[in-house]
Amino acid sequence: MTTTFGFPRDTFRILHVSTGNVCRSPITERLTRHFVSQRLGVLGGGLIVESAGTWGHEGAPMEAHAETVLADFGADASGFTGRELLDEHVIRADLVLTATRDHRAQVISMGHSAGLRTFTLKEFTRLVNAIDPATLPPLDDGLVMRARALVRAAAALRGWLLAPTVEADEVHDPYGAPLTFFRSIGDEIHQALDPVVTALTGVPTRA
């Protein structure tokens, strides 16, 4: 069975988007993979996690401080190369999570019916926190089915749960900043991802 765009429905693609695709979105991509693997024992079930940048440095390595942040969490930074955000990335994505509202607006402006599946990371976290996990399909029905239901539920809540402040949905750019700031951004991303991965997998953080 295929999606409207001709891609298999037995996969679910998460696309993380920032500016250069060398700091925030690589951290978010690799932490998502890591946290899902921690909960499920393996990254699988049809889940594919990728990233790209609206001004992506095509083929560039991840920033060294970003690699250090990933190492702090025990996540794998190897083999990463930066990508410029293309139409095909948006078309294939089932969920797009951006670092800022500007990135979200840029993705949506590309078209491809992206509006209902594009959120800032922190916006998506806020919406996920308001969803009763009991209303989602059990993991026994498949990770893909659960993930699709989660995105639909979040999109339905978006107009009802607005950000408390303008800055609440932003993950600021650490490019060029010292390692201490990168680590603070890593902590922000971790805190935002934790409830999202819990909702996706149905498995809470291990103590």
Is the distance from CB of 23 to CB of 40 less than 8 angstroms? Answer: no
Give residue 2's pLDDT: 41
pLDDT band of 9, cuts 50, 70, 90:
low
Question: Is there a domain that residue 104 lies in?
Answer: yes
Question: Is there a domain that residue 59 lies in?
Answer: yes
pLDDT, one tens digit per residue, over 37-82 is 999 988 778 999 999 999 988 999 999 999 999 999 999 999 999 9
End-to-end CA distance of the chain: 39
Q: Residue 24: which domain range?
A: 12-199
**């909702």: which residue's tokens?**
199
Of residues 17 and 41, the one with the higher pLDDT is 17
Question: Is there a domain that residue 55 lies in?
Answer: yes
Query: How far is residue 131's CA from residue 62's CA, in Å, rounded to a whole number?
Result: 34
Number of domain units in the chain: 1
Question: Is there a domain that residue 103 lies in?
Answer: yes
**């308001």: which residue's tokens?**
130
Question: Is there a domain that residue 76 lies in?
Answer: yes
Question: Is there a domain that residue 70 lies in?
Answer: yes
Length of the chain: 207
Question: Is there a domain that residue 50 lies in?
Answer: yes
Helix, strand counts (H, E) of the chain = 7, 4
Query: How far is residue 174's CA from residue 185's CA, in Å, rounded to a whole number?
Result: 7
Domain with 71 in it: what CATH number? 3.40.50.2300
Global pTM?
0.93
pLDDT, one tens digit per residue, over 121-161 is 999 999 999 999 999 999 899 999 999 999 999 999 988 87
Residue 5 has pLDDT above 50, yes or no: no
Tally of CA atoms within 13 A in the half-sphere of 139 that contains its CB = 15
pLDDT band of 182, cuts 50, 70, 90:
very high
Question: Is there a domain that residue 154 lies in?
Answer: yes
